[in-house]
Amino acid sequence: MTQQNDLEGTRSRKLLRASAASFVRSAVGARRWLRQAIWIWPIVAGLLLTVVGYFTKQTIERSIREDLSSELSTLLEAEVAALRLWMKSQESIAASIANDPTASPLAIRLVEAAQDPSATQASIVSSKDLEAFRAEVGPLLEHYGYMDLLIADTKLRFVAGMKNELILQSVPDADQSILTERVFHGKRSVSAPRPSLVLLPDTNGTVRAGVATMFAWAPLSDAHGKIVAAVGIRIRPQDEFSKILSIGRSGKTGDTYAFNHVGTMVSMSRFEDDLQQIGILRPGEESTLTVALRDPGVDLTRGERPTTLVRDMPMTQNVALATKKEPGVNAYGYRSYRGVPVIGAWTWLDDYDIGITTEQELAEALAPVQWMKWFFWGLIGLLGLASLGIFSVTLFAARLDRKARLASLEVKRLGQYALDEKIGEGAMGVVYRAHHAMLHRPTAVKFLDLDKTNDQSITRFEREVQLTSQLTHPNTITIYDYGRTPEGVFYYAMELLEGRTLEDLVRRDGPVQYRRAIWFLRQICGSLAEAHEAGLIHRDVKPANLMVCTRGGVYDFIKVLDFGLARAVDSEKQSRLTAAGAIAGTPLYLSPEAIENPVNVDARADIYAVGAVAYYMLTGRPVFEGRSVMDILQMHIRATPSPPSALARGPIPRELDEMVLRCLAKDPAQRPASTRQMLASLDQWGIEHPWSQSDARQEAARSSPDKAEITAIADETTFLAKTELQ
């Protein structure tokens, strides 16, 4: 048995040695053959180059298309955001005219006069009310730069305006749905461009009918709050509407335009001259309301002619999907209304009933891919330089990939915002003046200070952005964007304000008139009411955080700044972000409970601060003054303030005097129940003691500084028992 095992072991070892020798001989033979058959190397190199070249091209092309999709979407979002901001401003202007204290009663009387069955166009045109209305509204339109204004009643008739032709004429179908579905339900809106019913000058100065026009509408209410009509201001879409869209043109062939639900362009095309040359437009004709966004099936720019009529052509892919309310992006190509292959992104604005799309010719967008394709195929032909070619391709691909990643990081560093100069610095961050790369919109960008970065400060900084971005009130500072730089520094972009803080205004010009103070307080309470109803407390309401500026032509416009100390009500997690025993805020405007128990303050602490701000506005001095911070804190807790009327230079209505003192009550339960309740009272007093835009303009002209102070949001300040006043 043992001999048999030894024999089998010997036989196995011999077979193993034979197999190993055979493998070695085969390997050596193959190596010799490869050395001798040098011609095979160019073929191998060519095959490897083909494989590497193909997959590299596919990878880079896919990466470029993904980047293009992202860029198109970002560009479209920026255009839509800019367009919405512009439309909101037009709506606000229409609303301001509708709510004008002088023009509004005249407009209501004209609406009532039109309800008389015996009313005629002639009787309304010759009425003194219409003459007075035009005299009042004319300067407003001239101030805002508008050409016309119309009033439409609930019977969908024009009952007043700056032109006689349309009085008692029916509202066009294009505007009827906007009035019945939105404006007469209390909403504001902007209509899509449509042909005008009256003679208007076109872009060439020729006066004719059918010129593109659009309206910003706002409801008109009577003294009982019932909506009785709509006020519309006429807008030339060829001006700001088309100009906003033209900002988003990328490269030499990029175009951004708007269209309606039937697939007709309602803005100006970038290719006006080209469209006349290829026959889409007649000489002197405009693209707005003329160009049908249809796929001709051929490239019209190359002299090719379609075989079907325009009415039988399908809509271009982007327009067809957008009108079905299916937003999207296509970086692989489709045919535009000129027949040129393009890439694009599109969306539908349901609240304005228009679509927006941005496009770029496919050839320009994919020029790097085409160049790369020819480059690789050229290298494949150079089989004699296969090794060098492989190295070159690998190096080139790696270099392109690195550049793409670096470019991507650069884009993500600040998104679409470019820094200009440093304009401010606070306890936690630094603020730079910046501008949007495409819109050139002035912007303030705020960074967290790297030297003071820790988990708690980053959490607070992100919370500031998230809380503030939830607020949409026009008197609250607007957040545009936020993110992190490649180095990990958190930042956000917000609107850049031109004006002065309320603190600077009072320090320079002295106490404000009580009518102006009521106007300011209405805006402050409106902003805080939204925040409080969303469960947010500001906790640092003070004159230095209230910016007085001019916005959309409205003077004495308040912006509430720096929600950096805001926190969510009833949130355990957020309350722990403020250290136990720490006092958050500014001593001159702190409520007693914010001093004694800062963790558990509620919205009534902001009401106390509003009262202190009102006191400062009316008297030119804070509620309490002392030699040290501790003296002032003790006064907030125990001392009774003098009535503002006892210190003010001019008269103060009794009810305003009492409201300020109630806001400054030591017991939160004795203060006004909410800022919304305060706002209701202030609105009523605003009617009884109006502060008009004329008053505001005169005050601005009297007190405007030699050089406007450009102010951005400073960082939040946390008071931790400092020994000096902030």
Catalytic residue positions, numbered: 540
**DSSP state for residue 264 in the 8-state scheme:** B
Q: In what order do the strands lie in the sheet with 429-436?
A: 417-425, 429-436, 442-448, 490-495, 479-484
Give whole-number Cα distances, 568 to 134, 460, 464, 577, 600, in Å: 49, 12, 11, 11, 11
Q: Which residues pair with 361 in a beta bridge?
A: 342
Closest alpha carbon to 351 in 83, 95, 72, 146:
83
Angle between helix 603-619 and helix 654-663 axes, rounded to 10 deg: 130
Is residue 594 a contact partner of residue 572, using CB atoms and an 8 Å limit? no
User: Distances in Å between the alpha carbon of 302 and those of 179, 281, 296, 298, 299?
Assistant: 45, 16, 13, 9, 6
Q: Using an 8 Å Cβ cutoff, are 305 and 291 in contact?
A: no
**Cα(560)–Cα(526) distance, integer angstroms:** 10
* Nearest-angstrom CA–CA distance, 125 and 121: 6
Residue 640 burial (CB count, 10 A): 9
* Enclosing H/E stretch for 363: helix 362-365
Number of Cα atoms under 13 Å in the Cβ half of residue 391: 4
**Spatial separation of the C-alpha atoms in residues 484 and 491, rounded to whole Å:** 6
For residue 2, give both structure tokens.
């043992």
288 contacts 194 by C-beta, under 8 angstroms: no
Q: How far is CA 493 from CA 420, 429, 543, 591, 706, in A?
A: 13, 13, 23, 31, 28
Q: Per residue, what are the HEC states of 457-481?
A: HHHHHHHHHHHHHCCCCCCECCEEE
DSSP string of 519-577? HHHHHHHHHHHHHHHTTEE-----GGGEEEEEETTEEEEEEE---TT-EETT-HHHHTT
Distance CA(1)–CA(6), nearest Å, equals 9
Among 288, 310, 441, which residue's Cα sits nearest to residue 354?
Answer: 288
Cβ(449)–Cβ(430) under 8 Å? yes
Assign 3-class secondary structure to 16-83: HHHHHHHHHHHHHHHHHHHHHCCCHHHHHHHHHHHHHHHHHHHHHHHHHHHHHHHHHHHHHHHHHHHH
212 backbone dihedrals φ, ψ, rounded to 5° = -60, 135
In the chain, how many H helices and how many E strands? 23, 23
Confirm if 433 and 421 have CB atoms less than 8 A apart: yes
Residue in the block written with tokens 């915002």: 417
